[in-house]
């Protein structure tokens, strides 16, 4: 029997939910705890859109009931969309899920930075959820939101839980989207969580599966990808099966198929996952990361900054005359709205660790190349 089962990102939306295949269905039934990342709030009359860059998402009204019908018992709420409907939608979602089933978000800091304690096989396990600094991160008292991985309260929560309970499991919502390699900075962050007392660290948010590594005899899984993200046709997902023993935790990653009609376990899952993990120890890992960051700089970040500062975004590699014309028209029609959007876009890229680290890496590489060429 599987003791714990962790899933990646879950959002019910406009597309019909998939059928759960027999292999996965059996594992969901066998597990004593099943936890997903609940990627958006429930809709409600008290929702109000939080100002942010990027899309606003919400679940369908029956999302919690649907998730529980699949066997999901717990919900990680620390993510970049949980505050999309403001404090009203967050409170409605927390009430629907219940005090003991949700973790990582709250109306105050005490509830957001609070682990859920479960007992399995005689072991007390502290289960917690945190995320990188996107819109909705709770960084100071007085505002609702989700627990930020970089806050001192996160370190205190992990350290204190390690002293009080038998095992500590930390879920983190962070990373570069659609990239199968974690940034070295996230590897360092997750290792720090292990140093503070975590027995297992697992992450999601990139929408694709990333590999794992073992550090100080503990395991770090860098991304479980998507479990089901309605409307997203790309990406990949995995399920993490965890056994609780007297000696600690034993984890087995299981890749999911990518069929929109059915979600089930891929029979060749372990081989595929091992290939992803081997990339982390490959001699070319850092060079590949730098190359990824360079491409992101040219195609994403440079146009972002140009748009935020000049209102257009003029990078020739990614802009067309039609895009530029649309932005100019939008600016002259509603300049205040465009200014607000650009300001939020700049805040978005400066605040979020993944974006900031990727930009820093790209600029360091460009500076090194320029220095070599000038000799």
pLDDT in tens, 243-287: 999 889 999 999 999 788 899 998 777 788 999 999 999 999 999
Residue 326: the pLDDT is 56
**Percent of the chain beyond pLDDT 90?**
78
pLDDT at 309 over 90: no
Mean pLDDT, to the nearest integer, of 131-143?
94
Residue 317: the pLDDT is 44
**Percent of the chain beyond pLDDT 70?**
92
Mean pLDDT, to the nearest integer, of 282-305?
94
Residue 370: the pLDDT is 83
Classify each residue of 156-183 as buried b or exposed e, where b means 16 or more C-beta atoms within 10 Å of its C-beta: ebbbbbbeebbbbbbbbbbbbeebbbbb
**Rounded to whole angstroms, how far apart are CA atoms 130 and 340?**
28
Per the model's pLDDT, the better-predicted residue between 258 and 178 turns out to be 178
Per the model's pLDDT, the better-predicted residue between 268 and 11 turns out to be 11
> Any idea which residue has 């990027």 for tokens?
54
Mean pLDDT, to the nearest integer, of 170-189?
98
Query: What rounded mean pLDDT belongs to the chain?
Result: 91
Residue 342: the pLDDT is 80
Q: Which domains does the chain have, with CATH numbers?
A: 4-281 (3.60.21.10), 285-373 (no CATH)
């Amino acid at each position: 029997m599987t003791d714990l089962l962790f899933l990646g990102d879950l959002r019910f939306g406009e597309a019909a939910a998939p059928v759960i295949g027999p292999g996965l269905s059996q594992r969901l039934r066998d597990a004593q705890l099943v936890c997903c990342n609940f990627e958006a709030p429930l809709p409600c009359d008290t929702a109000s859109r939080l100002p942010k860059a990027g899309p606003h998402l919400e679940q369908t009204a029956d999302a919690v009931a649907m998730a529980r019908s699949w066997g999901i018992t717990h919900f990680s709420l620390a993510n970049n969309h949980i505050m999309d409907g403001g404090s009203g939608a967050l409170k409605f979602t927390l009430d629907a899920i219940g005090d003991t089933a949700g973790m990582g978000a709250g109306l105050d800091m005490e509830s957001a930075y609070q682990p859920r304690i479960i007992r399995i096989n005689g072991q007390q396990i502290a289960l917690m959820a945190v995320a990188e600094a996107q819109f909705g991160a709770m960084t100071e008292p007085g505002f609702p939101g989700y627990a930020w991985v970089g806050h001192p309260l996160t370190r205190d929560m992990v350290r204190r839980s390690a002293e009080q309970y038998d095992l500590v499991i930390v879920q983190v919502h962070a990373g570069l989207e659609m990239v199968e390699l974690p940034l070295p900075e996230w590897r360092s962050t997750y290792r720090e969580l292990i140093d503070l007392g975590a027995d297992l660290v697992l992450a999601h948010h990139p929408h694709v599966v990333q590999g794992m590594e073992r550090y100080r005899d503990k395991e770090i899984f860098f991304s479980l990808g998507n479990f089901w993200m309605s409307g997203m046709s790309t990406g990949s997902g995995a399920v993490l099966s965890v056994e609780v023993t007297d000696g600690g935790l034993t984890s087995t990653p299981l890749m999911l198929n990518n069929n929109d009609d059915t979600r089930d376990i891929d029979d060749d899952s372990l081989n595929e996952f091992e290939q992803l993990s081997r990339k982390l120890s490959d001699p070319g890992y850092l060079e590949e990361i730098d190359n990824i960051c360079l491409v992101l700089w040219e195609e994403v970040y440079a146009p972002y900054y140009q748009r935020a500062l000049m209102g257009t975004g003029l990078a020739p590699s990614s802009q067309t005359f039609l895009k530029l014309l649309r932005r100019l028209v939008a600016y002259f029609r509603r300049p205040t709205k465009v200014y607000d959007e650009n300001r939020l876009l700049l805040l978005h890229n400066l605040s979020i660790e993944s974006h900031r680290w990727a930009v820093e890496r790209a600029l360091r590489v460009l500076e090194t190349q320029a220095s070599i060429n000038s000799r």
